[in-house]
Amino acid sequence: MNTKSRHAKYRIGQVVRHRVFPFRGVVFDIDPSFNNTEEWYLSIPEEIRPTKDQPFYHLLAENAESEYIAYVSEQNLLPDTSGEPLRHPELEERFYADGNGAYRARDRQVH
């Protein structure tokens, strides 16, 4: 069993894009390892199914057609450096733009 602690490569508020599929989004939560249903995991085609022992990211995601919530393994993400604004409807509710192409959480408990 691997007990080495994995540190997330991306942070909350960072804009990322999927390595294979044409979507991008903002990280709003991070699981240190896979934390979804087995049914969801097995629905991923075997040839691109990621390992479970890596960080998984919850994204306010969007593609050309729609906005949605995505759950993506670290190995399938890349930083998005396009600088293009995001249009996800929950974005303003959860974040504000930091002016550097990333977002900061609107957490009222943070001062």
pLDDT tens digits, 74-102? 999 999 999 898 999 999 999 998 887 78
Q: Side chain identity at 35, as an amino acid letter?
A: N
Q: Could you give the residue ranges of the DSSP H alpha helices within the chain?
A: 38-42, 91-94
Place of tokens 């040839």: 47
Instruction: Report residue 30 CA to chain centroid gap.
Output: 8
Closest CA to 9 of 108, 60, 77: 77
The pTM (predicted TM-score) of the whole model is: 0.88
Spell out, as residue ranges, where the chain has pLDDT lower than 70.
Answer: 1-6, 108-111
